[in-house]
């Protein structure tokens, strides 16, 4: 994409995100309508659904030929990744949204012909948008973000999904043991932010495309790795066990969980 087009898209997405934040803050003044999806630990609210519709309408008006992959199902059934593909998670960290009214994110990613072009993770309550991509670098609101230090596992904090840790998936407890310590935030978007800012050195979780689509673009644009936990390439249409990490932490973790 040429530079002018990239900036035009970038400006538009930031406006949608701000509209989306205002919408969510307004809805938080009212009672939430909460229901269970697959279990009592997997919730969805009226706000997740309505916000996905809001964002999808904006995308369809702006770029009608796009395909859209949205968590709550208001987008398209996507079978192939040619052309413009938007990936939307209208509220990432729904459990936090319901229980804490904080620590959740809106995430949007744009892939063109399977390549990550722009990613957005919006920390809604702190009003901070992490945005960018391989052509423009990564920004915290309007400030450029520098690459986090390439720390080893032993020198950094890690974040992992609680169920994977409890079941000691692939010896994950040994990974935590080998690190400086464990932090669990409960939103893939918020965990990605902690990676981008260098506050943690690795994040391992079972994730769906809308959980990792934006974070992968931002992480790779800052020299971090985003792969499966076995170090393989991620498929943007499939769920997988995902590891986002500094290059050194990834090299430390692979032999432990291999």
Distance CA 144, CA 116 (A): 19
Residue span 46-65 as binding mask against ligand IPD, x where in contact by CB under 6 A, dash where not: --------------------
Q: 155: annotated binding-site residue?
A: no
Contact call for residue 145 and ligand IPD (CB under 6 A): no
Order of all β-strands in the sheet with 225-228: 181-182, 157-160, 202-207, 240-245, 225-228
| Gap between the Cα atoms of 135 and 124, Å rounded | 25
- Residue 230 among known ligand-binding residues: no
Pick 48 or 252: Cβ nearer Ca ion = 48
Stretch that binds Ca ion, among 69-77, 133-141, 169-177, 249-257 (CB under 5 A): 69-77
Helix or strand holding residue 245 (H, E): strand 240-245
Inter-axis angle of helices 188-196 and 209-221, nearest 10: 10
Residues 6 or more apart whose CB falls under 8 angstroms from that of 166 comprise none
Q: Contact between 45 and ligand IPD (CB under 6 A)?
A: no
207 binds, among ligand IPD, Ca ion, none (CB under 5 to 8 A by kind): ligand IPD
Q: What is the dihedral of CA 250, 204, 46, 78, to 10 degrees?
A: 60
- The three-class DSSP label of residue 255 is helix
Tokens representing 80 are 């192939």
Q: Rule CB under 6 A: choose which of 20, 67, 131, 161 binds ligand IPD.
A: 161
Which range binds ligand IPD by CB under 6 A, 21-29, 75-83, 200-208, 241-249? 200-208
3-state secondary structure at position 51? helix
Measured CA to CA, the distance from residue 247 to residue 25 in angstroms comes to 37
Shortest spacing between CB 5 and ligand IPD, in angstroms: 29
CA distance 144 to 198: 14
3-state SS, residue 18: helix
Q: Which is nearer to ligand IPD, 161 or 225 (CB)?
A: 161
Tokens in use for 150? 């390439």
Closest approach of ligand IPD to the CB of residue 64, in Å: 26
Task: Report the residue from 9, 17, 207, 218 that binds ligand IPD according to the rule CB under 6 A.
Answer: 207
H or E element that contains 178: helix 172-178
By CB under 6 A, which span of 60-68, 139-147, 203-211, 250-258 interacts with ligand IPD?
Answer: 203-211
Give residues 88-107 in contact with ligand IPD (rule: CB under 6 A): 89, 92-94
187/221 with CB nearer Ca ion: 187
Which is closer to Ca ion, CB of 190 or CB of 249? 190
Residue choice 20, 45, 88, 92 for contact with Ca ion (CB under 5 A): 92
By CB under 6 A, is residue 179 in contact with ligand IPD?
A: no
Give residues in contact with ligand IPD (CB under 6 A).
Answer: 89, 92-94, 161, 186-188, 205-207, 211
């Amino acid at each position: 994409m040429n530079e002018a087009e990239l900036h035009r898209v970038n400006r538009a997405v930031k406006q949608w995100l701000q509209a989306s934040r205002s919408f969510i803050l307004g809805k938080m003044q009212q009672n939430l309508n909460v229901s269970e999806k697959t279990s009592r630990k997997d919730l969805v609210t009226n706000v997740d659904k309505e916000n996905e519709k809001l964002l999808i309408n904006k995308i369809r008006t702006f770029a009608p030929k796009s395909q859209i992959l949205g968590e709550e199902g208001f987008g398209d059934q996507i079978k192939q990744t040619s052309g413009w593909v938007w990936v939307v998670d209208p509220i990432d960290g729904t459990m936090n949204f319901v229980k804490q009214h904080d620590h959740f994110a809106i995430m949007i990613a744009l892939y063109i012909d399977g390549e990550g072009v722009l990613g957005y993770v919006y920390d809604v309550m702190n009003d901070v948008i992490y945005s960018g991509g391989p052509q423009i670098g990564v920004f915290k609101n309007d400030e450029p973000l520098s690459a986090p230090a390439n720390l080893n596992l032993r020198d950094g904090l890690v974040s992992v999904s609680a169920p994977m840790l409890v079941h000691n998936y692939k010896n994950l407890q040994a990974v935590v043991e080998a690190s400086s310590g464990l932090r669990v935030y409960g939103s893939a978007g918020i965990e990605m932010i902690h990676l981008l800012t260098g506050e943690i050195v690795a994040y391992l979780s079972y994730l769906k495309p809308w959980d990792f689509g934006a974070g992968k673009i931002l992480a790779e644009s800052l020299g971090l790795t985003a792969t499966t936990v076995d170090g393989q390439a991620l498929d943007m249409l499939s769920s997988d066990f995902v590891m986002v990490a500094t290059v050194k932490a990834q090299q430390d973790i692979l032999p432990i969980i291999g």
